[in-house]
């Protein structure tokens, strides 16, 4: 496993559409492990493949609920309600902003064995799912931020919902 470089805002790869994952190769399995390790090292709760320079529809999430989520080729099936709160991003270091996301989301995806499954999430998990899937379309939370981005200190950065 290895820590990968996280691409930051201004890197054109973050604005590109990702391609579906068609098969689980040793390289893809290694990418998943590296993405988790990179995300934990950076104190994030989610990471999308384009954030480490790979244009594939692959997301990892860990919102500290006892689960590690791998979403391959994810597709949002339904959303419900809304939540407005502070959001950050590992690709936009040192900043956060107010973003409204669904309170509940249902998504279908493939797991690390390329088996289909559905995942429902509320609150922070719903926010993380929506945030990470947006990365796969080349979208960043700064595109939908309400008001201005604000600077966050090192202590606050760990608290901000980073993905």
Ligand-binding site membership of 135 (annotated): yes
Ligand-binding site membership of 104 (annotated): no
Given the residues 87, 132, 161, 162, the one annotated as active site: 132
Ligand-binding site membership of 131 (annotated): yes
Q: Is 117 helix (H, G, I), strand (E, B) or coil?
A: strand
Of the candidates 42, 61, 49, 38, the one whose C-alpha atom is nearest the C-alpha of residue 16 is 49
User: Which pLDDT value is given to residue 154?
Assistant: 54
User: Which pLDDT value is given to residue 84?
Assistant: 97
Cα dist. 85→29, 43, 46, 48 in Å?
33, 19, 16, 21
According to CATH, the superfamily of the domain at 12-150 is: Peptide deformylase (3.90.45.10)
Q: What is the pTM of this model?
A: 0.92
Determine whether 30 is an active site residue. Answer: no
pLDDT tier, 150 (very low <50, low <70, confident <90, very high otherwise): very high
Q: Where are the domains of the chain?
A: 12-150
Over the stretch 77-109, which tens digit does the pLDDT of each residue have? 999 999 999 999 999 999 999 999 999 999 999
Q: Is the pLDDT of residue 155 over 70?
A: no
Of the candidates 28, 98, 92, the one whose C-alpha atom is nearest the C-alpha of residue 60 is 28
């Amino acid at each position: 496993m290895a820590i990968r470089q996280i691409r930051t805002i201004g890197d054109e790869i973050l604005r590109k559409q990702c391609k579906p994952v068609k098969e689980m190769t040793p390289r893809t399995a290694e990418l998943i492990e590296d993405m988790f390790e990179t995300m934990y090292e950076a104190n994030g709760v989610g990471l999308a493949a384009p954030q480490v320079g790979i244009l594939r529809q692959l997301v990892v999430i860990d919102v500290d609920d006892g689960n590690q989520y791998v979403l391959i080729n994810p597709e949002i099936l339904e959303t419900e309600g809304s939540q407005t709160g502070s959001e950050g991003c590992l690709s936009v270091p040192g900043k956060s902003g107010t973003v409204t996301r669904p309170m509940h989301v249902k998504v279908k995806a493939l797991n690390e064995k390329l088996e289909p499954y559905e995942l429902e999430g509320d609150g922070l998990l719903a926010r993380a799912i929506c945030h990470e899937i947006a990365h796969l379309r080349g979208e960043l939370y700064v595109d939908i931020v309400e008001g201005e981005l604000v600077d966050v200190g090192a202590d606050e950065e760990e608290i901000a919902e980073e993905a």
